[in-house]
A and B are shown apart, each in its own frame.
Chain A
Amino acid sequence: MSMEWLRFWLVFILIVGSLLGFTFSVIGFYRFGFLMNRLHASGIGDTFGILCMALGLLLAQEPSLSMGKMALAVIFLWFTSPTSSHFLCQVEFYTNPDLYRYVDREAK
């Protein structure tokens, strides 16, 4: 019984944490003005939020094949979303002519 309760609370904490992460991510994404800040905010949801949500859902279900599929999906997303954020930043860095107003950097 106590193991069940432990699992329940673990799932609860993970899912609520993931929802909190997504909330901060959405607020940051809409309220920040500069692209790199917004990317940081959306990256929190893409990595932390998805990881916590998937772990919570993994713990919540009975062991089955779909657990493996979900874990694979998380691995896939952890590969792809940081890469896409990295390239969006890279493109911003190379193409924004007003970048010196936001960050210190050498002239291009």
Chain B
Amino acid sequence: MKQNLEKRLWKWLEGEWEPLDYLSEPAEVRDSSRESLKEQKKHLRESIDRMEHTQAVVRAEQKGFYAFYTLTAVICCLVLIGVLLYSVANVSEYGVENPLTMEVVGRYVSRGLYETGAVNVVSGMILDYRAFDTLGESHVLFTALVCVLILLHRDRKNMLPGVEDYYTVSRENYYELSGDPILRTVGMVLLPCIFLYGIYVLLNGQNSPGGGFSGGTVMGSALIILSACVGFARTDRFFTRRMITLVIFVSLAFYSLAKGYVFFMGANGLENHIPKGVPGTILSGGLILPLNIAVGMVVACTMYGFYSLFKRGSIGEDGTSLD
């Protein structure tokens, strides 16, 4: 018996044997609800196969579109590899001082505070010197939200008639978090703190690490917790799809116009008349604070939109009328 125990101990340590193995073996129980789910999946697949689009894809594959597609992809990849290898071969060696790049870095570090008014040099870089780069990133987020909306949005047009999908099948067994008193109480205690912290990070971006992206992410996660605490029915009163689109559009348009104006004036050697304020205070850094707010709004709305689309296939109340 003792030897047996020792053997077992070694086996357990080497990961070959689990003391609780006999508990975790799957039972041979046929669950009727799972069987019916399988049936429904099969039904769904068959009706997808019968659809017009699927058959069009099959026909295109038969016509050789697939070969053309593969060939184009391979050619594109080869061209990209060639370009990248060529540029890597021309990069200066690591550690060797390259006057072209060092000049820019020295300018950022030595004159960043004077020219942008931001104590945080990184903020001054990404929202002043290279503001169009950040504008592109915000547009990438918006484009990603639009793509997810196209793929996952659930309305009458892209639902198969007579077929229940995941959202409607599991509705009976669906566990709704928002009715829980524990979650609601904890959320009511913590949410103001999280929102406040997000706003602090957002507004203080020109003075300390942080800014639009991080502050927006904090606020976006606070919105997600809010919708989990009080339920989508109550967040939908304000965060409709129209509202989110409006906020993102206004932010991006303001960003483009304001920064376009500044760059246009700067390129022509003119003053832009935007006060830089006292470095270190909240109202400093010229355009950096409003641009941070714009980026933060975009990021927060995008985060909430992703969550909402992945959770229930719609933003705002326009999708809930289906249920």
> Residues of A with Cβ closer than 8 Å to B?
31-34, 76, 79-80, 83, 86-87, 90-91, 94-95, 97-98, 101-102
Contacts and interface: CB of A to CB of B under 8 A. Distances in A.
Contact of A97 (B19, B31, B182, B193): B31
A79 B186 contact: yes
A98 B29 CA distance: 9
B173 interface: yes
Interface stretch (B20-28, B259-267, B277-285): B20-28
Interface in B1-30: 18-21, 23-24, 26-27, 29
B24 to A, nearest CB: 5
A34 B31 contact: no
Interface of B: 18-21, 23-24, 26-27, 29, 31, 34, 173, 175, 177, 180, 182-183, 186, 189-190, 193
A91 B24 CA distance: 18
Contacts of A34: 20, 23-24
A83 B20 contact: no
Given A90-B175, A94-B173, A79 B27 contact: no
Contacts of B182: 83, 86
Contact of A33 (B18, B26, B34): B18
Given A33-B23, A80-B186, A94-B173, 7 more contacts: A31-B19, A33-B24, A79-B190, A87-B177, A95-B175, A97-B29, A98-B27
Given A33-B18, A34-B20, A91-B175, A83 B29 contact: no
Nearest to B190: A79
A94 B175 contact: yes
A33 B20 CA distance: 6
Contact of B189 (A31, A79, A94, A102): A79
Which of the listed residues B173, B186, B189 has the most CB atoms from chain A within 10 Å of its own CB? B186
A102 B183 contact: no
Given A79-B190, A83-B183, A97-B31, A102 B173 contact: no
Contacts of A91: 175
Given A94-B173, A94-B175, A98-B26, A87 B183 contact: yes
Contacts of A95: 173, 175
Nearest to B189: A79
Contact of A102 (B23, B26, B29): B23
Contacts of A98: 26-27, 29
A57 to B, nearest CB: 21
A107 to B, nearest CB: 13
B31 A80 contact: no
B312 to A, nearest CB: 17
Nearest to A108: B173
B308 to A, nearest CB: 19
A79 B26 CA distance: 35
Contacts of A83: 182-183, 186
A91 B228 CA distance: 14
A76 B34 CA distance: 39
Nearest to B183: A83
Contact of B190 (A31, A80, A101, A102): A80
B27 to A, nearest CB: 6
Contacts of B180: 87, 90
